[in-house]
């Protein structure tokens, strides 16, 4: 997706700032889970808001995860119809993609985490090849970046706080739904590794936007639907290595599968927690539902992008990613202090 | 206990017929043992006459006249031979089927069974399936004893342990589990024992039955999760890495367990070449894996959906070659693939004398004439030939076979969804591989650590 287009040549600074915010966010989300001694965010809701309130909030979060999952599915399907298979209907592409995601979820969390490790290595390899080819191609201009922050930091802030901080960094909230069940008590090693991987992925996003900017310049980047794919398409070395966008699309697909799986898994963990049904029996109905939502979520690509980068972050992401976790944190801190005082009074 | 072996000496002859039938290779010889009546029983097909006369008959004629009892005779004359006292006709039948001779003496209610053996065996020959330039020229044979001896001649250590199992109670097919008890993981050993024991009493006639019983997933699996090996050096290397080997009577191969995905890309030759060369060859095999699996699918996807991603000159050439062809590209590819597979199968089944002729003729006919006639394009022939050659880069035949099968799945997906379908197929394939287990070990994992999940 096209991030932070409104700040032109400084677009790469925004994810860089957000990376550090994102590291803090991730630490904060895990801190809530660890400090409350609950396994998932759903049991945390119940603990802090009681049965009824907790259930309502939990269902809201499940819906939210499914919705984000559907949006990502749509994003990726739009990429495929636009860049790879213009002649194949969107429904068909989404359906096949969903079938793949279903199988990946069906093999269980231990296995799909191993699979994602392999994906990680593959994406890293493709990214290195891509960067090497961009450099070898030579069609880039660092002057596109100058002057760096020519208008001061002011113009960067809206897009930082209303777009990039929520998407993708705030979406790390999905990990609160299952991190506690995978790693009981969340030892410091796990939290450190998580924060470190947020740093790495944030730097990757920054590097990607940098490459888009130095190959195209801000004005073309602003208008491209998928600037990274276009950048790959532009590469031509000796009239032989041409059009390597398929490699990039493959990497994007792996990333999309990981993201969709994590959101779907977060939602399914919630459903499992509330209904007690078997995880594997829930995969097919809930992912079919997600597919339907992803099809009806917007009428066309432009609407999808406008809603996804304008409306959603402000009205859906901010309350669910920041306001509620902040309230939970305050509640937990008050409770623990209260408990401490209680202990003292007993003594 | 099922009572005595016999009530009266005279009824024995009918008991023999009752227990062993009228099979013609069953030999019962009445002899005198220190003026007592005595029967010697064996299968003439399982006991060699040279062994019989040197191991049993010669001592018998010298010592039998003086011996007071059967045990005294055995201790004096048959001291170096493996023996067993039996009190049950079923056990006697079992021992007779294990190359033994049984001796029954009047007045004693235990039968002495001694292992004689000595039937003709194939001698040790060079490996034929897994050939290697360097390394020992020793392949396993059909006999378990020979195979164990081949192993122990290299691993002369007390930690080399061998456990025997009778796989079926009626048809006596033996299997042995070989391992080094100081390197093998105890969980693996436990699991292996359990799985072999589970096969006892079932009909296990071929190595394939044993394989099915040993592997994790009972349903059809595309990739082999156990490795069949006929080479001494690679079996020894696997044992030293803490794996176990199972040999079965009558199969000139050992089953190595567990085997993971990466193992199938190793060749016995890797141990004899420099490290850089080994890395290069292994990389080549991984490339061959992806070419065999994906090349036809990618070709279909590119030609039908995304011809813009190949360089323009190449695209023009391919389009020019394909312009007058009667079939759609998928049918065309499948035709040539089918021809190639038939050729391969035909050349495997052909007698060795005509085998070579067939491949040459087949290649000429299919390759040259079909292109000349304008039925298929030469690009397809190149694709199929490259794919076919790549599938020979693997040292393990089963593994290459599963890739060959999956290739058709990829052609199918690519004809519907193009390159995108190939991508999705890759993801599903790797998810499948990650999901597989070999004796509890993850079949496909990036880090080299093998954790039992």
Q: How far is CA A141 from the centre of its chain?
A: 30
Same-domain check for residues B56 and B103 = yes
Contacts of A253 in chain B (CB under 8 A): 420, 423-424, 427
Q: Pick from B391, B376, B177: which is nearest to B285 by CA?
A: B391
Q: Quote the pLDDT of residue B331.
A: 92
ipTM for the complex?
0.91
How far is it, in rounded angstroms, from Cα B409 to Cα B56? Answer: 62
Of B309, B431, B447, the CB nearest to A104: B431
Of A92, A118, A246, the CB nearest to B309: A246
How far is it, in rounded angstroms, from Cα A255 to Cα A250? Answer: 9
* Preceding omega of B122 cis (within 30 degrees of 0): no
The range of the structural domain enclosing residue B39 comes to 9-115
Judge whether A238 is closer than 8 Å to chain B, CB to CB: no
> What is the pLDDT of chain A when averaged over all its residues?
87
How far is it, in rounded angstroms, from Cα B305 to Cα B287? Answer: 24
User: Between chains, do A112 and B447 touch, taking CB under 8 Å as contact?
Assistant: no
User: Between chains, do B305 and A85 touch, taking CB under 8 Å as contact?
Assistant: yes
Mutation choice for A interface testing from B294, B312, B424, B449 by most A CBs within 10 A: B424
Read off the pLDDT of residues B33-56 as tens digits, 9 standing for 90 and up.
Answer: 888 888 888 888 888 888 888 888
Structural domains counted in chain B: 3
Same-domain check for residues B216 and B163 = yes
Read off the pLDDT of residues B414-451 as tens digits, 9 standing for 90 and up.
Answer: 999 999 999 999 999 999 998 888 888 888 887 655 54
Read off the pLDDT of residues A73-132 as tens digits, 9 standing for 90 and up.
Answer: 998 999 999 888 888 899 999 999 999 999 999 998 888 988 999 999 999 999 999 999
What are residue B241's phi and psi, to 5 degrees? -80, 0
How far is it, in rounded angstroms, from Cα B130 to Cα B132? Answer: 7
Mutation choice for A interface testing from B409, B415, B427, B438 by most A CBs within 10 A: B427
For residue A91, how many other CB atoms are within 10 A of its CB? 13
Q: Quote the pLDDT of residue B211.
A: 84
Read off the pLDDT of residues B107-126 as tens digits, 9 standing for 90 and up.
Answer: 888 888 888 877 777 888 88
Lowest mean pLDDT among A115-129, A310-324, A329-343, B274-288: A329-343
Read off the pLDDT of residues B251-270 as tens digits, 9 standing for 90 and up.
Answer: 888 999 888 888 888 887 78
pTM score: 0.87
Q: Pick from B368, B373, B374, B372: which is nearest to B324 by CA?
A: B374
- pLDDT higher than threshold 60 for residue B2: no
CA distance B274 to chain A (A): 26
Read off the pLDDT of residues A246-262 as tens digits, 9 standing for 90 and up.
Answer: 889 999 999 999 999 99
Same-domain check for residues B232 and B379 = no
Q: Quote the pLDDT of residue A2.
A: 67
Same-domain check for residues B280 and B345 = yes
User: Has residue B357 been placed in a domain?
Assistant: yes
Instruction: Say whether A67 sits in a helix, a strand or coil.
Output: helix
User: Has residue B185 been placed in a domain?
Assistant: yes
Q: How far is CA A242 from the centre of its chain?
A: 30
Same-domain check for residues B314 and B424 = yes
Read off the pLDDT of residues A13-72 as tens digits, 9 standing for 90 and up.
Answer: 889 999 999 999 999 888 888 888 788 888 888 888 888 988 999 999 999 999 999 999
How far is it, in rounded angstroms, from Cα B404 to Cα B384? Answer: 11
Q: Quote the pLDDT of residue B298.
A: 93
Interface of B with A (CB under 8 A): 305-306, 308-311, 313, 417-421, 423-424, 427-428, 430-432, 434-435, 442, 444-447, 453
Same-domain check for residues B43 and B104 = yes
User: Has residue B449 been placed in a domain?
Assistant: no
- Domains observed in chain A: 5-346 (1.10.4160.10)
Q: Which of residues 76-95 of A touch B (CB under 8 A)?
A: 80, 84-85, 87-88, 92-93
Q: Quote the pLDDT of residue B168.
A: 60
Judge whether A104 is closer than 8 Å to chain B, CB to CB: yes
Q: Quote the pLDDT of residue B172.
A: 56
Same-domain check for residues B301 and B234 = no
How far is it, in rounded angstroms, from Cα A116 to Cα B446? Answer: 10
Read off the pLDDT of residues B346-356 as tens digits, 9 standing for 90 and up.
Answer: 777 777 776 56
Mean local confidence (pLDDT), B73-102: 83
């Amino acid at each position: 997706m096209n991030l932070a287009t409104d700040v032109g040549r400084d677009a790469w600074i925004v994810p860089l700032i957000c990376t550090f915010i994102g590291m803090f966010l991730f630490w904060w989300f895990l801190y809530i889970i660890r400090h409350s001694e609950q396994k998932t965010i759903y049991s945390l809701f119940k603990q802090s808001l009681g049965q009824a309130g907790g259930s309502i909030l939990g269902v809201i979060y499940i819906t939210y995860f499914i919705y984000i999952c559907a949006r990502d599915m749509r994003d990726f399907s739009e990429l495929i119809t636009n860049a790879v298979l213009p002649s194949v209907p969107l429904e068909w592409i989404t359906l096949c993609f969903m079938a793949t995601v279903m199988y990946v979820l069906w093999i269980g969390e231990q296995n799909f985490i191993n699979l994602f490790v392999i994906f990680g290595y593959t994406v890293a390899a493709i990214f290195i090849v891509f960067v090497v080819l961009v450099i070898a191609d030579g069609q880039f201009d660092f002057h596109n970046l100058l002057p760096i922050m020519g208008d001061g930091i002011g113009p960067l802030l809206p897009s930082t706080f209303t777009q990039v901080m929520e998407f993708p960094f705030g979406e790390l909230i999905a990990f609160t739904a299952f991190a506690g069940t995978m790693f009981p008590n969340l030892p410091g090693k796990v939290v450190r590794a998580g924060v470190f991987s947020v740093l790495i992925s944030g730097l990757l996003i920054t590097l990607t936007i940098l490459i888009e900017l130095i190959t195209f310049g801000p004005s073309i980047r602003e208008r491209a639907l998928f600037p990274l794919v276009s950048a790959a398409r532009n590469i031509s070395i000796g009239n032989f290595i041409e059009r390597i966008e398929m490699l990039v699309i493959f990497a994007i697909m792996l990333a999309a599968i990981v993201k969709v799986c994590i959101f779907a898994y977060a939602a399914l963990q919630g459903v499992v927690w509330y209904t007690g049904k078997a995880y594997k029996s829930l995969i097919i109905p809930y992912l079919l539902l997600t597919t339907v939502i992803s099809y009806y979520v917007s009428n066309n690509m432009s609407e999808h992008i406008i809603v996804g980068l304008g409306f959603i972050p402000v009205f859906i992401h901010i309350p669910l990613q920041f306001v509620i976790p902040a309230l939970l944190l305050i509640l937990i801190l008050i409770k623990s202090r209260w408990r401490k005082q209680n202990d003292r009074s007993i003594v | 206990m099922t009572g005595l072996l016999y009530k009266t000496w005279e009824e024995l002859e009918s008991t023999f017929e009752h227990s062993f039938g009228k099979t013609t290779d069953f030999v019962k010889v009445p002899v005198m043992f220190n003026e007592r009546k005595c029967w010697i029983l064996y299968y003439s097909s399982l006991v060699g006459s040279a062994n019989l006369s040197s191991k049993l008959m010669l001592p018998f004629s010298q010592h039998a006249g003086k011996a007071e009892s059967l045990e005294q005779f055995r201790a004096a004359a048959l001291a170096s031979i493996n023996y067993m006292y039996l009190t049950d006709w079923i056990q006697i039948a079992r021992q007779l089927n294990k190359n033994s001779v049984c001796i029954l003496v009047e007045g004693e209610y235990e039968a002495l069974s001694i292992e004689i053996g000595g039937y003709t065996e194939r001698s040790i020959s060079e490996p034929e399936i897994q050939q290697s330039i360097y390394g020992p020229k020793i392949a396993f044979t059909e006999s378990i004893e020979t195979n164990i001896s081949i192993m122990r001649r290299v691993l002369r250590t007390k930690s080399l342990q061998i456990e025997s199992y009778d796989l079926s109670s009626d048809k006596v097919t033996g299997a042995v589990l070989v391992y080094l008890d100081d390197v093998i993981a105890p969980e693996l050993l436990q699991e292996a024992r359990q799985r072999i024991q589970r096969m006892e009493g079932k009909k296990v006639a071929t190595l394939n039955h044993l394989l099915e019983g040993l592997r994790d997933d009972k349903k059809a699996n595309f990739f082999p999760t156990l490795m069949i090996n006929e080479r001494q050096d690679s079996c020894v290397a696997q044992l030293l890495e803490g794996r176990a080997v199972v040999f079965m009577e009558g199969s000139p191969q050992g089953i190595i367990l567990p085997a993971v995905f990466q193992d199938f890309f190793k060749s016995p030759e890797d141990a004899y070449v420099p490290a850089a060369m080994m890395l290069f060859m292994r990389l080549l095999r991984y490339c061959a894996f992806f070419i065999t699996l994906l090349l036809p699918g990618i070709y279909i996807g590119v030609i039908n959906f995304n011809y813009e991603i190949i360089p323009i000159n190449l695209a023009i050439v391919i389009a020019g070659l394909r312009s007058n062809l009667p079939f759609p590209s998928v049918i065309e590819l499948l035709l040539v693939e089918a021809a190639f597979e038939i050729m391969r199968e035909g050349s495997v089944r052909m007698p060795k004398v005509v085998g070579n002729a067939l491949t040459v003729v087949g290649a000429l006919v299919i390759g040259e004439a079909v292109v000349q006639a304008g039925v298929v394009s030469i690009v397809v022939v190149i694709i199929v030939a490259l794919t076919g050659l790549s599938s020979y880069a693997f040292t393990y035949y089963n593994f290459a076979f599963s890739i060959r099968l999956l290739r058709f799945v990829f052609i199918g997906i690519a004809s519907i969804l193009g390159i995108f379908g190939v991508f999705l197929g890759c993801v599903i394939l790797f998810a499948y591989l990650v999901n597989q287990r070999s004796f509890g070990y993850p079949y496909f994992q990036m880090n080299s650590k093998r954790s039992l999940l």
